Amino acid sequence: VHPSSIVASIVACIVALGAAAYWDEGREASASLADFGREQATLARELASALRARLAASGGSELGAPPLGETFSSIEQPGEMVALLRAPRADGLALGAGGTRRIPSLEAALDGARCGLEAPQSAAGCSLQLSHGESAALGLPPRMGMAGLATFEASDGNRWKVAVVAGAARERDRERRAAARVVLSFLVSSGLVLAFGMLALRKQRRELVLAGELAVADAVRARDERLVRADKLATLGALATGIAHEVSTPLGVIVGRAEQLAPKVVEDARSARAVAAILEQTTRIEEIIRAFLTLARGGTPSLEHTDPRDLANAAVELVRHRFTEVGVHVSTVPGSAAPAVACDHRLLEQALVNLLLNACDACSPGGHVTLEVRVEDDLVAFVVTDDGTGISPEAAARATEPFFTTKPEGKGTGLGLAISREIVLHHRGTLEVAPRRGARGTEARIVLHPVSSFAPAP
Ligand SMILES: Nc1ncnc2c1ncn2[C@@H]1O[C@H](COP(=O)(O)OP(=O)(O)OP(=O)(O)O)[C@@H](O)[C@H]1O
Ligand SMILES: [Mg+2]
């Protein structure tokens, strides 16, 4: 959500809440003014009923000033409330305290009022708001006045009208103060909400900027790492090509000499086996070099359907003499049948040999190394496990990096796993090295697709 939309929503909510509070306050004010008017109407009614009784007692004659004043004095409060009488046929309104006043709006309301004592008490139309000037003309504070109206019919059939007018100054002041309180609390709370909202937004923006900078830094670091890796791989490719070129000449000489020797040692079975082994291994070296060169030139390995257990056994046989030399036990774990994989078996054997040799290097005499073929989630996994020195998580993360080695100079080149990884990647597989879980040692695994789900590299 964009920050400006959040701010707009907050402001809209605050305005809506403020408007609702202000409207409610106004409604309360009108209701209390209406109540105030009803109170005046009740007083006017009481006054009218007292006057009717007095009129009846005086035989229906018009009321004199003193009795009127006496009756009115029970209601009147100087400066706050006045009582007024409109006698039949009289002009203006007689004040209880003496004198008459002309208040046209009040006279008109009294003339038209249906607020008779005979009728059931009803507030509707029995109160009237007076203007500031009208209130002042009646000796009340020059603020809004509220008039309550009542009428009654005397025994002679004449209609008498009574009004009680009270200044609504106190009510109005109270309402104004309440409205001011609503506005003030609205302003304070909206100010607080906006201030905290802006603070939160600023903090969020800062965090977003920071997260963005971190993401950029991560991307740059990852790109740099990729470039360094690509650079090292290019060096590796060039190195492999150069070595292949240099090795081919002496290799040719070895093969030539061995072939010359072969017919001469036919009689000596031991020498014949040795010469055959030399020829077999040189052929193997030539095949591996050819396969490596294909990879280095960006070609695809020649794939054959191979039984994973045959691969595992062949790899173990290739390194057995090294294990025997240092007194480390090596074995394949007899597992259930695994589906065939599509691979260049020379290259994959070489990758497994590298894992086995690393395991051998990590073990002391008497150590154990196993190579197991497992079927995991429809994939074929070659798992080499050793009980050697183990590997730290940091070294495991860098183990397949070209030239990364923890071995002393002259002992390791740091190329074994890098080459194995390239081989495995060319077979659309994965290679991982990790500390063994719950036991001493290391676990290295190559995972390949079986032939049924193998998709060759595009
Ligand atoms: N089974 C293992 N146990 C402990 N450490 C290992 C194991 N396999 C790999 N490593 C670590 O990974 C590093 C890189 O291995 P890699 O095979 O690429 O190079 P190397 O063995 O050091 O050298 P080279 O293979 O050229 O002789 C090793 O130096 C070692 O620190
Ligand atoms: Mg190695």
| Ligand 1 centroid distance, CA of 291 (Å) | 23
Report which of residues 228 and 124 the model is more confident about: 228
Give the percent of the chain with pLDDT over 70.
95
Write out pLDDT tens, residues 27-58. 888 888 888 888 899 999 888 888 888 888 77
Q: What is the pLDDT of residues 310-334, one digit of tens each?
A: 999 999 999 999 999 999 999 998 8
Report CA(140)–ligand 2 centroid distance (Å). Answer: 109
**CA 243 to ligand 2 center in whole angstroms:** 18
Distance 421 CA to ligand 1 centre (A): 13
Average pLDDT over residues 220-232: 87
* Ligand 1 nearest atom to the CA of residue 355, by list position: 8
Residue 399 CA to ligand 1 center (angstroms) comes to: 7
Helix or strand or coil: residue 438? coil
User: Which of 106-110, 115-119, 372-376, 414-418 has the lowest average pLDDT?
Assistant: 115-119
Interval 64-85 mean pLDDT: 74
From 243, 394, 407, the mutation candidate for ligand 1 (largest count of ligand atoms within 8 A of CB) is 407
CA–CA gap between residue 263 and residue 246 (Å, rounded): 28
CB 343 within 8 A of CB 450: no
Task: Say how far apart CA 312 and CA 333 lie, in whole Å.
Answer: 9
If one residue of 229, 322, 353, 361 were mutated to test the ligand 1 pocket, choosing by the most ligand atoms within 8 A of its CB, it would be 361
Contact of 169 with 158, CB cutoff 8 Å? no
pLDDT at residue 165, as a whole number: 92
What pLDDT does 67 receive? 62
Q: How confident is the model at residue 26 (pLDDT cuts 50, 70, 90)?
A: confident
Lowest mean pLDDT among 117-126, 134-143, 373-382, 441-450: 117-126
**What pLDDT digit, counting tens, does each position of 170-193 carry?**
777 887 888 888 888 888 888 888
Tokens 């990647």 -> residue = 425
**pLDDT(388) > 80:** yes
406 Cα to the center of ligand 2, angstroms: 10
Q: Look at 127-131, 160-164, 228-232 and tell me which has the smallest mean pLDDT.
A: 228-232
Q: How far is the CA of 235 from the centre of ligand 2 (A)?
A: 18
Enumerate residues lining ligand 1, CB below 6 A.
354, 358-359, 362, 386, 388-389, 391, 395, 399, 404-407, 412-418, 433, 442, 444
- pLDDT > 80? residue 300: no
Confidence of residue 260 (pLDDT cuts 50, 70, 90): very high
> What confidence category does residue 154 fall into, taking pLDDT thresholds of 50, 70 and 90?
confident
Alpha carbon of 408 to ligand 1 centroid (Å): 11
User: In the numeric block, which tokens belong to residue 172?
Assistant: 């109005």
Q: Which of 243, 369, 417, 442 to probe ligand 1 with, by most ligand atoms within 8 A of CB?
A: 417
For range 414-432, the mean pLDDT: 91
Nearest-CA neighbor of 385 among 410, 356, 425? 356
- Closest ligand to C-alpha of residue 435 is 1
pLDDT of residue 51: 85
Tell me the pTM. Answer: 0.55
Q: Whose CA is nearest to atom 17 of ligand 1?
A: 416
What's the whole-number average pLDDT of the chain? Answer: 87
Q: CB of 49 within 8 A of CB of 152?
A: yes
The rounded distance, in Å, linking the Cα atoms of 406 and 105 is 108
- For helices 3-57 and 65-73, give the axis angle rounded to 10 degrees: 140
Asked if residue 104 has pLDDT above 70, the reply is: yes
Q: What secondary structure, in 3-state letters, does 331-369 show?
A: EEECCCCCCCEEECHHHHHHHHHHHHHHHHHHCCCCCEE
Give the pLDDT mean for 102-126. 80
Query: Which ligand number lies closest to the CA of residue 396?
Result: 1
- Of 232, 322, 358, 364, the one to substitute when testing ligand 1's pocket (max ligand atoms within 8 A of C-beta) is 358
Q: What is the identity of the amino acid at 220?
A: V
Asked whether the predicted pLDDT for residue 458 surpasses 60, the reply is no
- Which residue has the least CA distance to atom 29 on ligand 1? 405
Name the band, by pLDDT with cuts 50, 70 and 90, for residue 112.
confident
The minimum-distance atom of ligand 1 relative to the CA of 401 is 18
Pairing verdict, β 368-376 and 329-333: parallel
Q: Residue 314 and residue 370: Cα distance in Å, rounded?
A: 14
pLDDT confidence band for 122 (50 / 70 / 90) = low
Q: How confident is the model at residue 351 (pLDDT cuts 50, 70, 90)?
A: very high
* DSSP alpha helix (H) spans, 58-168: 65-73, 104-112, 132-137
What is the C-alpha separation between 176 and 69, in angstroms, rounded? 35
Q: What percent of the chain has pLDDT over 90?
A: 37
